[in-house]
Every structure is written in C-alpha cells, then in structure tokens.
A and B are shown apart, each in its own frame.
Chain A
Amino acid sequence: MTALYEGRAAEPGPAAEPAGPSTEPLVTGPSARLADARTARRAARRAVRVFRPRRTGTALVVAAVLLTVSALTAAEVISWLMGRPLRLVPYERLGELARAYRFDDPVMLGASAVIALAGLWLLLVALVPGRPRMVPLATDDPDLVVGLSRAGLRHALEAAAAAVPGVGESRVRLRRRTVTVYVRGGSSEPGEPAAGVRRAVTARLVELAPVRMPKVRIVVSGGAG
C-alpha cells in the first residue's frame, strides 16, 4: 500500500491550518519545554471547544418555526401583491385584533415582555458557550482530542473510592470545578477513610488527567455499617 502512494509524500498536507504557533518546528534544548507547554495548551483549548454543546435541539425548533412564519408571510404578501391572495392565514382577523388592542393594554404589555424575554433567552443560548458534554482529557497532540463522558468519570472515581478499605458505598457528584465524593463508611473510625479516599480519588484523577483538574471534596457519612 505504501508503494502506491510514494509520489505524494512531498506534497503539503491537505489539512494545513491557517497559520498558528503549531507550524513552527519543535526545537530541542531549553525552549523545547516551552513549545511543548504551548502545544499542550492549544490541545487543551481545542479539546474544551470540541465538546461544547451545539444547540441542535433549540436550533431545530427555532429554525422550523422561523421557516413556517417567514414562508407563510412571503406566500401571503407575494400572492396578494400579484392580485391573487392565498388567504392561508386569516389576516383580516389579525388586523382587527391589531386595531382593537392598544399598546398599553396589559395583554399587549405582557406579550411584549414575553417576546423580549424569549429573545433574550435565545441570544444567551447563542452567546454562552455552554458546559462541555464530555470531560476533556489532556493530550499533548492538538490533533488528538479525548473526552470522557461525565458518567464515565463519575463511575471511575466511584470505583476508585469504593476500592479503599473501610469504604462501604461511594457516590460522586461532578460540578464545574469540584468533585465531591460521598462515602458511607464501612469501618468504625470515621476519620480514617477520608484520607484514603482522597488519596485514591486524586490518584485516579491524575491518571486520567482531565484538562482542568477539579478540586476533590470528601464527605463521609455514617459510621459502622
């Protein structure tokens, strides 16, 4: 297979990126570590971005509504301009309503407020990046993005905590920046498992190496059981 493609080796990559620090060669020597750190940061940023939500559900609904409303409007107005109104929409009734209601009518004020709030919400959905759907794991290659599902991270940490002697049951909650491990102690001394669980969970986190290392909080409940 290789022989078949030999002639193409010298060609530039088809996926060459529009400039960026990656194009400069990694130098050996003291500055190598600096370049490595920069590559890792780039990889991390990319990983976080890749797993951000794409707003597909909201987009689907809004696009469908927009299409319906604007296509109906276009059809009505154009057919009316051409002298053959379609009358798919009872717009004369709508016109009567618009003549009957006044701007300071409570119904009108309420409707305006609802529309403005809906607009604000859509604007926020568009502008706020949203929480990544997977926990990005660090890699040193910007072309390799790895994400672990949130449930996956939770299960992995729960398994690590449950493996500590003296721990009966463990549950993990992930928040933006902290991981809280709830442990139901199986041993009689309540102070003992916390340190062990912290060690085990932290070790597992270091192994998995998420791009953003969360803080670990241990909550021990219940004594002998």
Chain B
Amino acid sequence: MRRHNAFLNRFGLGLVGLLLLAGGVLAFARGTGGLGRTRPHEPILGDGVRGYVAGEPWFWQAVALAAVVLALFALVWLVAQGRRDTLSRVEVDREGAGITRMPASAVTGAIGDEVAEYPDVVRGRAALLRPAGRPALRLDLTVGERADVRPTIRRLHDEALPRLRQALDADRLPTVVRIRTTARQTANPRAR
C-alpha cells in the first residue's frame, strides 16, 4: 500500500517545474515586450538592477537564505530516493518496557516459501515495508502464463495472510501482490 516517496517526488518536481516555468515565461515576456513598461532591448543585468542590488544589503542575504533552504530540501529529497522501503527487522510484540523484534527475513522467507508451494506459482518473494510500527507486505509472484491466478489469490487471502497477521500480531496487514508470468509452468515437481 505504501507509496514510497510518491508524494515527495511529485511535490519536488512540481515545485521545480513551477519555478522554471515562471522564470522562463517572465524572461520571454520581457524579451518580447509583453511586460508593458519595461523595454525589451535591455541587458539582462542592466544598470538599474545593479544599482538596486548594490543599494539593498539584504538582497544577497535573502539569496543565501533561499539557496540554503532549496539545498536542504534537495538533500532530503535525494536521500529519500536512496532509502529502501523494506524493513530488515520487524516488531512482533510491544509489551511493557520491552519490544520484541525479529529479522524480517524470518517472516518473508516463510511466506515466500509457502506461496511457492502453490500449484501455479513458480517463484515467490516477500518483503515487509516501512514503517516498522505498522508494516505492509509486498509479495512478488511469478506464475505460469497459463495459470489461473484467482485460486492463488484466494488461497493467499484465506490461508497465508491470516496466518502471517497472527504471527506478526497485527490486526491488519495491507498487502500488495505483484504477479509476473513465465513460460515455465511450475518449478514445483510435487505440484505437477
């Protein structure tokens, strides 16, 4: 369910896009005389601008502040791209002062293996997604291209997921299943 970074990316792209669009349109309008009183045939950095900037000591301070704010935002944005959305440890119990954690691979490995035993499933891989307090599950399945995925989904919904919720002691476990197909029918000899 987690839309890792989706909002942040759209916000950042929208912000930069808006700044560029506004700057470009203003400069173009200035050049074509669309801005009224200003003359198009003027240097970009004319005497008027230079005199104004020289007379206002706060100008460069404001530029410095804006640049720092933008740089900090860009840094946070960039770091967020590198952050993985999967958990390596998962809380299974929070009782009193202690929190019991276990490696997420213990959970994800088990469900991956379980699902890989289903007749149509060739490969199953699971990951628990952030945040740690209320994890979500992502399950990548590879099935044979002739397989009917409905029984697999139903079995997952009725058997594997309730069991996993119980193991994690969670009332809800939002789950995203991504299904790919392969020409191989099954990797599981017992299921033939």
Contact A207 B148 (CB under 8 A): yes
Q: Which of chain A's residues have a CB closer than 8 A to the CB of B27?
A: 103, 108, 111-112, 115
The proximity string for B residues 61-74 relative to A, scoring 1 for CB distances below 8 Å and 0 otherwise, is 10110011011011
**Cross-chain contact of A102 among B8, B43, B150, B178 (Cβ < 8 A):** B43
Total residue contacts A-B, CB cutoff 8 A:
257
Closest to B143 in A: A152
Is A32 in the interface zone, CB < 8 Å from B? no
User: Measured between alpha carbons, how far is A80 from B61 in the docked complex, in Å?
Assistant: 10
The proximity string for B residues 155-177 relative to A, scoring 1 for CB distances below 8 Å and 0 otherwise, is 01100010000110111111111
User: Measured between alpha carbons, how far is A116 from B134 in the docked complex, in Å?
Assistant: 42
Chain B nearest Cβ from A32, distance in angstroms: 19
With A5-B169, A70-B74, A119-B24 as known contacts, state yes or no: A15 contacts B3, CB within 8 Å: no
Is B97 in the interface zone, CB < 8 Å from A? no
Q: Which of chain B's residues have a CB closer than 8 A to the CB of A112?
A: 23-25, 27-28, 31
Contact B149 A125 (CB under 8 A): no
User: Measured between alpha carbons, how far is A34 from B125 in the docked complex, in Å?
Assistant: 36
Chain B nearest Cβ from A22, distance in angstroms: 10
Closest to B2 in A: A50
The proximity string for A residues 59-78 relative to B, scoring 1 for CB distances below 8 Å and 0 otherwise, is 11011101100110110011
Q: Which of chain A's residues have a CB closer than 8 A to the CB of B21?
A: 116, 119-120, 123
**What range describes how many residues of A lie at the interface?**
35 or more
User: Measured between alpha carbons, how far is A102 from B12 in the docked complex, in Å?
Assistant: 31
User: Measured between alpha carbons, how far is A161 from B149 in the docked complex, in Å?
Assistant: 17
Contact B78 A64 (CB under 8 A): yes
Q: Which of B24-44 contact A (CB under 8 A)?
A: 24-25, 27-28, 30-33, 40-44
Q: Contact residues of A with B, CB < 8 Å?
A: 1-2, 4-5, 7-8, 12-15, 46, 49-50, 52, 54-56, 58-60, 62-64, 66-67, 70-71, 73-74, 77-78, 80-81, 95, 98-105, 108-109, 111-127, 134, 137, 139, 141, 143-149, 151-152, 155-156, 158-159, 207-209
29 contacts between A and B (CB under 8 A): A1-B167, A5-B169, A8-B93, A14-B172, A55-B6, A58-B9, A63-B77, A66-B12, A67-B77, A78-B64, A78-B68, A99-B43, A102-B43, A108-B27, A114-B24, A116-B21, A118-B17, A118-B24, A120-B17, A120-B21, A126-B17, A144-B157, A145-B1, A145-B175, A145-B176, A148-B180, A149-B179, A151-B181, A152-B179
16 additional contacts, CB 8 Å, given A118-B20, A146-B176, A207-B150? A15-B134, A54-B9, A56-B5, A56-B81, A60-B81, A64-B78, A77-B63, A77-B67, A99-B45, A104-B33, A105-B31, A122-B13, A123-B13, A134-B179, A139-B157, A144-B157
